[in-house]
Structure 1
Amino acid sequence: MLGFLRKNRDLGAALLALALLHTLLFPQTVSAAEVIIDSTVNTTMTSHNGTTFTNVFIDDQTGYAFYRDSNGTCAVRKTTDGGQTWGATQTLDTQTDCLRIAVWYGRWTPGFTTTTYIHFITIDSGSDDVWYGRYDTSNDSSTPMVNITGANQGGTFAVGS
């Protein structure tokens, strides 16, 4: 009987050691909580259709959420606490037909390690033009939107140029 208890004690110690090792090597991941960034976003579902990025985190605490606000304008909000709270809405453009906003953070491009720009584009519903703007995270400001389609494009594009 004593041999049986000794074997079980050794087995228990081994299992405890394995459990501890597993915890150290594979720590449990934490899932982010859901947070409301803006309770007055535009409710027309098709105006948000798209498969590209709309959020940018420049470090583990500072992030930007780009979206269509309730009045149809393109907007952005900033967090400095990892998404627990969000600052005031900043309108990026006064046009009220901002559709399918998409963003690209400059540092996502290999070799661009010092840029502070978030580039964003949107489509307007009036003439389906594509509009471009740039947001600077160093001072939380944006450039005026520029129409980059149709007659607004100067010159021509040539293959191999």
Structure 2
Amino acid sequence: MKIRFKVTSALLTTIRIDLRRPHPFAHERVGFIAAGLAAAHDELLILAREYRPVREDEYLPDPSVGAMMSAGAIRRARQWGMDDRVAIFHVHTHGGQGIPGFSGIDIRENGKFVPNFVSVAPHSVHGAIVLSDKSAFGQVWIDRTSPQPFIAKFSEVGMPLRSWSTI
């Protein structure tokens, strides 16, 4: 299955600005993107719609990670997915210019909480995305047991139109 992710330049700029804000104790910011889906043949198109940051009181002090979310933050995002029947993607940034990748901690933590989104909102796929200043990289959970494919292509819709392949 080929997976593509599209986001408007305006929404992507909003996300990047929010994720760059300093936090009193966390080393990075995190949030969630809601998206709609379109599927045909062997392609899945994910269309980013809205962004919601993790609230200030939903960060937990944990020096072993860049940012630790509370169970309440995850519960609120899962509820959003159920109520609005949308795909939910956890998002954070590593900065830099090239195509980013998930850290070992990202892989471990994504594997712990993203499958729970599939359990409570099985009508959609869910996933995680890491941004750089110029591109993105992401992974999708189709269900709790199948392999988690990577997003093959990202498109930033605006002037100019930008796209990049990640695999």
TM range (shorter): under 0.3
TM-score where L is the length of structure 2: 0.27
TM-score where L is the length of structure 1: 0.28
The structure that is helix-richer by fraction is: 2
The structure that is strand-richer by fraction is: 2
- Bigger CA radius of gyration: 1
